[in-house]
Amino acid sequence: MTNGQQPIFILKEGTTRTSGRTAQSNNIAAAKAVAEAVRSTLGPKGMDKMLVDSMGDVVITNDGATILKEMDIEHPAAKMIIEIAKTQEQHCFDGTTTAVVLAGELLKRSEDLIEQNVHPTVICEGFRLASDKAIELIEDHSIEVDKKTLTEVAKTALTGKSAGAVKEFLSDICVKAVLAVAQEDSDGILVDLDDVKVEKKQGGSIKDSSLVNGIILDKERVHSGMPRSVEGAKIALVNSAIEVKKTEVDAKIQITDPSMLSQFLDEEESYIKGLVETISSSGANVVVCQKGIDDLAQHHMAKAGIFAIRRAKKSDMEGLSKATGGRIVTTLEDLSKDDLGEAAKVDERKIGDSDMVFITGCNQAKAVSVLLRGGTEHVVDEIRRAFDDAIGVVSVAHEDGTVLTGGGSVLAALSRDLRSFAEGVGGREQMAIEAFAGAMEVIPRTLAENAGLDPVNTIIALRKAHSEGKSRYGVNVYDGGVVDMGAGDVYEPTRVVEQAIQSASETAVMILRIDDVISSKGGAPEMGGEFDGMDM
């Protein structure tokens, strides 16, 4: 040891550490890269991405959350940006790209401030003030919802996706489905999207998709001797197997002569017959069973003209209960006519290459089904993603009762309001609030870029319109320039914009506060650690 010059190691060998400005700029660069990856998908003129995984499976989509979920990302800061998309998707169903692009822009602007020696905690405080003020200001721009607005919200969500060509048709299905399952109580309107069952089948065109006031089951009747169609259906929902009960304990039955065997089999048959008679006497002509149905029971049901389905999913049983008004019965002996659900018709139809059962014409159905069709598997998958987004935003708008105009109009208005708010805030936070206000304009600018318009001219035209009090003006991606989004019927739910601003600013603040990254990769890969086998 020479005069205490020996370096002291406090971290395990193989640990990498970046700190200070380097750590911040690395994190910001990673976050900006993620935002850049989805930026070109934003808006009606956004392009799609083709994602190919290690198995060679292909996903073609322009849904921000799907793209980020499919990308194999290793950088920890980039993973934090992906969390924004997940949260946005769970809470609002749409606006994932907006939230991610906004977070990327906030970090880009804050990088300029850090270079001007503004301390990160000051920037964070400014961003918090700006975010709270923006959420407060959004209320001034919100518009009450009616049925027509809900349809326009669905159309806006579908525009720019491959389903955009049939948006009139699909948006109509979305609104009808949401209004059918919406329930009002003292707390307001609640929409449980689990009550909207979506089945997808390739074959036919998107226009062959349909909404059914009832339930579609991807099942077929259990016996070919059963009727294919039953009018005026009385439906028994059974949650127990229609077969001879097995004993709970291991029991052996010893049969010593042939007559005992035939007696034993007769007993079994009469037991099964009894079960089928119980069903018949209750008045049921359709049985949906969550468990198995014995071959013998199938035969007797077919003879009695009962239409039966077995091994239905639990979610389908609950949906049927809500749609038909029937009660799910656990023991067949307790089945009575009061437990039966009702439907105008139950029939088996051939859709594509498989048989499906349609239970339709349910009065006051509180559960409905949508059958989505499309030319190929990839088309149907993308239609499904677009439909999920659209029905999601309709349900959110219906629950909240308010919407905002789209096309970047609200963000441009908030940007203008925040600039004047910044002037009244003293200290260095003012610079951060101005940076936040500037970052808001990234959405209208990106919409313009993706449509092949001049982003500078578009932002100037937008600012001019807003300075004249035209706060509903947004980017016209079809003809260039700016137009009134209210007149163009471009709407999005208030919650989508609120959540995007909150998630983006909170994540940007979290990333900005990091000044030291210590990653201990030493030894982890051999153990199959977190970073093993991941490549960007």
Bridge-partner residues for 394, per DSSP? none
66 is catalytic: no
How many CA atoms does the CB half-sphere of 81 hold within 13 Å? 35
Give 134's contacts (C-beta < 8 A, 6+ positions apart): 414, 417, 418, 436, 440, 501
The Cα 93–Cα 214 span in angstroms is 24
Distance, CA of 433 to CA of 501 (rounded, Å): 13
CA 347/CA 345 separation, integer angstroms: 6
Q: Where are the beta strands (DSSP E) in 296-416?
A: 307-309, 328-329, 341-351, 354-360, 368-374, 402-405
Q: How far is CA 59 from CA 165, 379, 406, 475, in A?
A: 20, 10, 28, 30
In terms of Cβ atoms closer than 10 Å to its own Cβ (0-12, 13-18, 19+), residue 20 is exposed
CA 506 to chain centre: 22
Helix axes 455-467, 442-450, angle to 10 degrees: 130
Q: Parallel, antiparallel, or unpaired: how do β-strands 482-484 and 368-374 relate? A: unpaired
Contacts of 304 (CB under 8 A, 6+ apart): 276, 279, 280
Q: Is 97 a catalytic residue?
A: yes
Say how far apart CA 82 and CA 65 lie, in whole Å. Answer: 8
Ordered DSSP codes for 137-196: HHHHH-EE--HHHHHHHHHHHHTTSGGGGGHHHHHHHHHHHHHHH-EEETTEEE--GGGE
Active site residue 121: no
Cα(311)–Cα(307) distance, integer angstroms = 14
Q: Which residue in 41, 87, 96, 446 is the catalytic one?
A: 96
Pick the catalytic residue: 294, 388, 389, 417?
Answer: 389
CA pair distance 332, 301, nearest whole angstrom: 14
Instruction: Exactly one of 66, 87, 97, 494 is catalytic; name it.
Output: 97
Of the listed 41, 61, 63, 195, which one is catalytic?
63
Active site residue 96: yes
Q: Where are the alpha helices (DSSP H) in 14-53?
A: 21-39
Catalytic residues: 63, 96-97, 389
